[in-house]
Amino acid sequence: MPGRLSGEIGDNLIEVTGLVLSAAPVGEYDRRGVILTKERGKLHAFAKGARRPNSPLIGGIRPFCFGTFTLYEGRSSYTVKQLAITNYFEEVTSNVEYVYLGCYFLEFADYYSREYGDELSTLKLLYQALRALSKDSLDNRLVRLVYELRMMAMNGDFDGACFQNLGGTAAYALDFIVNTPVERLFTFTLSEEVLARLWDAQAENRVRYINRAFKSEEVMNSINITFS
């Protein structure tokens, strides 16, 4: 007999661990979510009746929800049957500054992740970045820099020429961001001078590979949100 695919539990049901990147209403009562999972990469799933007040799915198919999802795997789509949310990231969603930047993190992960790809590293990085947002000891400009730069480096979008003249503490910080285990990434601070140098270099690096604005970024710029 052929082996089961990752996450498969039988009868066309699979169980995956993931984080909801986005969700949109479908029809009168349903939702369609994009979930970044460690077993199947990025997937799209319908949650029937999720917008009904008494639905067991009502609170779990929305951005920032992390947990376990039991899905029915159809020929061309997934349907959410059950879920168990373990982290709503309420410390992020309850703060205007955090939620805008958090949405940017979700959108950035959506841009880089692929269906049926090995996205465990992407999921871990996103999870740790969202946790770091609400840490009083961290400058959220640094959190964004670390998240954005590491995500791009993991996906091969890293031009060393943009960073070749850093030197000193900035060069050491760059090596740490690119190479250290994800669990230890958001554990340091930088001076304003070093942060500014890395920020400018990463801005140049990003233009070379992406050169587009994300919707969440456009919103942040339009309302002139500054991070601290």
Average pLDDT, the chain: 91
Q: What Cα–Cα distance (Å) separates residue 91 from each residue in 51, 87, 145, 211? A: 24, 10, 20, 31
pLDDT above 90: residue 120 = yes
pLDDT above 70: residue 27 = yes
**What is the predicted pLDDT for the residue at 24?**
95
Say if residue 114 is exposed, middle or buried (CB neighbours under 10 Å; 0-12, 13-18, 19+): exposed
Q: Residue 57: what are its φ and ψ, rounded to 5°?
A: -100, 0
Domain boundaries, the chain: 8-87, 95-216
CATH superfamily assigned to domain 8-87? Nucleic acid-binding proteins (2.40.50.140)
* Whole-number Å distance between alpha carbons of 167 and 1: 57
**What is the predicted pLDDT for the residue at 1?**
32
pLDDT above 80: residue 226 = no
Question: 210 Cβ partners below 8 Å, 6+ apart?
Answer: 111, 152, 157
The H or E element containing residue 218 is helix 215-222
Q: What Cα–Cα distance (Å) separates residue 97 from each residue in 51, 55, 105, 177, 227? A: 27, 30, 13, 24, 7
The H or E element containing residue 191 is none
Question: What are 71-112's pLDDT values in tens digits?
Answer: 999 888 899 999 999 999 999 999 988 999 999 999 999 999
Q: Indicate the pTM of the whole model.
A: 0.91
Query: Hey, what amino acid is at 205?
Result: N
Contact 72, 53 (CB under 8 A): no
Q: What is the pLDDT averaged over residues 115-121?
A: 93
